[in-house]
Amino acid sequence: MKSKEKIRIGMIGYQFMGKAHSHAYRDLPFYFDNPLAPELTVIAGRKEEAVKDAMDTMGWQSYETDWRKVVERDDVDVIDIVTPNHTHAEIAIAAAEAGKHIITEKPLALTVEEAERMLEAVERNQVKHMICHNYRFVPAVQYVKQLITEGKLGHIYHFRANYLQDFIMDPNFPLVWRLKKEVSGSGALGDIGAHSIDLARFLIGEFKELTAMTETFIKQRPLGGMTGGLSAKTGGSDQAMGEVTVDDAVAFLARFETGTFGVFEATRFAGGNRNKNKFEINGEKGSVRWDMENMNTLEVYFADDEEGLQGFRVINCTEEVHPYAGAYWPAGHIIGYEHSFINLMDEFFRSIAEDRQAVPNFEDGVRNQKVLAAIERSAADKSWVSL
């Protein structure tokens, strides 16, 4: 086996996305012949006992309790930001100033102004940067992009997307950081709606104008914090309450620069939907449907099929001709959520090795942030907003 150049990772944060990223780093060399081999050098978190446990569990070599020490270390090439949204800008700008390549979870920042400062910092310091929209890297989604690019669907008339969850429906679910505007920026909009926005930009193109509405169904919740994944616990028996300052649900209509008509919904109050991230695209020559809960399959319809045989066919996107699928198992041997991160990391490290910019990157993050801001402005003003 040929030796590969090591690229040393410093990860800030260690919970849900920290676990997903750590797994991707460890498995990337197993599936992909990437020029760079990630080395899990250091992980950081504020709680020493918890971050030390994460280090041991996820295979990191060392830990820090101050993210600044990670950024300052000479044995770190890449800073991976998997912390709450309000910390992204400060960490990313400091990492760029230190000459580190950067990958960060979405959304990029709390505001457009923050996002633009992050983009300016990485461009000025000429470091590679990526935003972690992993759903782009599902083989079925990549195949949809291929079908559109090849003109198989013709002109696209409709893009409709729903991202439905239900994990905060219980009124006793605590007031975690995801429900505080000063920490998260927005609620369902930035947490899950941001993924639909990015997929729409990836597959269709840029937004032209939109109109939106938002709703917060439960206005107050008991104080508490996240305990891993999307679970949480209250702060104690006193049941002190706090105000929810973000949206629970958002819906918006959009027109794209291509002329495509868009319909979007994101909510964390859709009972029975654990992670229903789905879209449907209708074009002049055909249509496609995709659902993350069945991520390997794609429903495809072509208008020129023989009469009597027309309708949606189901494709299992695990053939070697499907993007990324050939790196894994024989056809029909499905992959999972975690593999979307491995595919994304392959793109990131290849971009560093080839001295080019990965996609999606901070520029995409800024464009996504502008759409998020336009949605909030539209909902507040009850108006159409141009981008």
- Whether residue 156 contacts residue 257, with contact meaning beta carbons closer than 8 Å, is answered with no
**Pair 120, 172 in one domain:** no
In a domain? residue 282: yes
Note whether 285 and 373 are same-domain residues.
yes
CA–centroid distance for 290 within its chain: 17
Q: Categorize the per-residue pLDDT at 237 as very low, low, confident or very high, splitting at 50, 70 and 90.
A: low
Per residue in 20-71, pLDDT (tens digit) is 999 999 999 999 999 999 999 999 999 999 999 999 999 999 999 999 999 9
pLDDT bracket for residue 361 (50, 70, 90): very high
Same domain? For 109 and 21 the reply is yes
Q: Which DSSP helix (H) or strand (E) runs through 384?
A: strand 384-386
Boundary of a domain, candidates 81, 107, 134 = 134
Q: Are residues 120 and 210 in the same domain?
A: no
Q: Are 31 and 175 within one domain?
A: no
DSSP letter string over 344-360?
HHHHHHHHHHTTS--SS
53 and 126 housed in the same domain: yes
| pLDDT mean across residues, the chain | 96
Range of the domain at 172: 137-357+367-386
Tens-place pLDDT, residues 263-281 = 999 999 999 999 999 999 9
Residue 362 resides in a domain: no
3-class DSSP state for residue 236? coil
Residue 330 lies in a domain: yes
CA atoms within 13 Å, Cβ hemisphere of 39: 11
Residues 120, 183, single domain; the answer is: no
User: What tokens appear for 349 in the block?
Assistant: 């490290």
**Domain edge (last residue) among 96, 115, 134:** 134
- Residue 299 belongs to domain with CATH number: 3.30.360.10
Residue 343 three-state SS? helix
- Which residue, of 134, 161, 188, is where some domain finishes? 134
Number of domains comprising the chain: 2
pTM: 0.95
33 plus 105 within the same structural domain: yes
Q: In this structure, what DSSP letter does residue 175 have?
A: B
Does residue 266 share a domain with residue 121?
no
276 vs 352: CA distance, rounded Å? 33
Say if residue 41 is in the same domain as residue 117: yes
